[in-house]
Structure 1
Amino acid sequence: MMEDFDEIYEEEEEDEDEDEDRAAEEQLLKYAPDPVVVRGSGHVTVFGLSNKFESEFPSALTGKVAPEEFKASINRVNGCLKKTLPVNVRWLLCGCLCCCCTLGFSLWPVICLSKRTRRSIEKLLEWENSRLYHKLCLHWRLSKRKCETNNMMEYVILIEFLPKIPIFRPD
């Protein structure tokens, strides 16, 4: 009786279905436009994170999202940065002053605070995505990119276009 029961064929069929789904998703992603990059425009940068992001509406988002919604989202992110970055700068200055005496350990608080700031922005962007942008087939995320002018790294907001799922395709 055990010879009749064979799980291998059943799993192979599932793997083939997953491969087909993955191939279809890659095909959809191929035709998606390039993501929109929103760069930091502030005058202070701590560990790659600028103190504010550009709030000018990108032309690539015309017809996808209202300029008011875009500006409100950027203002929420900038508000989060406005609350947390001045504290990070103070800790950075104190850490640099004491760096020689503490063998660099005085920089740990600013590293931890910077990581916490990034996480709070990522959570805010997740909330924005679930509230509005996923419904509009957009996905906002914080991404580390190389600066255009030098070899330094900076954090930018990437607005990716999600592919529309074909609803007429059979399950």
Structure 2
Amino acid sequence: MDEDIEELNLSPVEAHVRVVSPLSFPDVDEDSINSEASDSQLPHVLGDAVLDESLLITTVPDPIRLRGVGGSTMFGLNSKFEDEFPSLLTGKVAPEEFQSTIQYINTILLKSIPFSVKYLLCGCLCCCCTLGLSLGPVFILNKRTKYQIRKLLDLENHRLYNKLGLNWKLNREQRDGNNLREYVLLIEFLPKVPLHRPD
């Protein structure tokens, strides 16, 4: 039977229709089955596999970007993020939860950015004497600040936002109109898994 399929140069779907259908319906001849199994009939022949693939396609909105609005920026990290509640989050998360998360992030930035500025000024003054080593604390403090924010966002995602279909992330992006890069907060919408998806 496999040799007959190879001789006819049939696709796997057509071969399935030709081989299985006569066995399933012995009273019907093979020519009538082949004429009925046209392209419009293939989704019915294939069954749930085609239908499930079409149901898995979901549209996810673009992520919400929260940019820095503070007065000072250190290595792309601003001293404050905007705390206005985005309209796209209406009905998904309470404004109080959003304000609380932004307040935690802004508190971390408020504590670290002024120290970074002071260390940067001192490091620049002593740069010639220390061969640039005096700038090391500035980079370490900046890296520590980003780590604290990412750790906080992971905790908040695990505690609340992932359950609501959202995911917060600190992301470095290029500014519009120039080559400078800045850190922004991204609120991503997670795709919903269909409940009728087979295991």
Task: State whether structure 2 residue 83 is matched by structure 1 residue 55.
Answer: yes
Q: Residue 127 of structure 2 corresponds to which residue in structure 1?
A: 99
Q: Residue 188 of structure 2 corresponds to which residue in structure 1?
A: 160
Higher relative contact order (CA 8 A, sep 6+): 1
2:60, 2:140 → 1: CA distance?
Answer: 36
The code of the aligned residue for 2:73 comes to T
Tell me how far 1:27 sits from its aligned partner. 4.0
Tell me how far 1:98 sits from its aligned partner. 1.5
The code of the aligned residue for 1:159 comes to I
2:145, 2:57 → 1: CA distance?
Answer: 36
Deviation digits for residues 44-96 of structure 1 (CA, Å, limit 9, x no counterpart): 10111001100011112122111111111100100111112221111111111
What secondary structure is seen at the aligned counterpart in 2 of 1:41? coil
**Structure 2 residue corresponding to 1:45, chosen from 70, 73, 76:** 73
Q: Gapped runs of 5+ residues in structure 2?
A: 1-52
Structure 1 vs Structure 2: percent identity of aligned residues?
58
2:179, 2:89 → 1: CA distance?
Answer: 29
Tell me how far 1:149 sits from its aligned partner. 4.4
Tell me how far 1:166 sits from its aligned partner. 1.0
Q: Residue 148 of structure 1 corresponds to which residue in structure 2?
A: 176
- Aligned pair count? 146
1:57, 1:150 → 2: CA distance?
Answer: 27
2:123, 2:180 → 1: CA distance?
Answer: 21
Task: State whether structure 2 residue 141 is matched by structure 1 residue 113.
Answer: yes
Tell me how far 1:148 sits from its aligned partner. 2.0
1:118, 1:97 → 2: CA distance?
Answer: 25
1:136, 1:149 → 2: CA distance?
Answer: 34
The code of the aligned residue for 1:58 comes to P
What root-mean-square deviation, in Å, do the aligned CA atoms of Structure 1 and Structure 2 show? 1.7
TM-score (structure 1 length as normaliser): 0.80
Tell me how far 1:100 sits from its aligned partner. 2.5
1:47, 1:166 → 2: CA distance?
Answer: 42
Deviation digits for residues 137-160 of structure 1 (CA, Å, limit 9, x no counterpart): 000010001112432110000000
The code of the aligned residue for 2:99 comes to K
The code of the aligned residue for 1:43 comes to G
1:103, 1:60 → 2: CA distance?
Answer: 50
1:93, 1:102 → 2: CA distance?
Answer: 14
2:157, 2:184 → 1: CA distance?
Answer: 16
Q: Residue 151 of structure 2 corresponds to which residue in structure 1?
A: 123
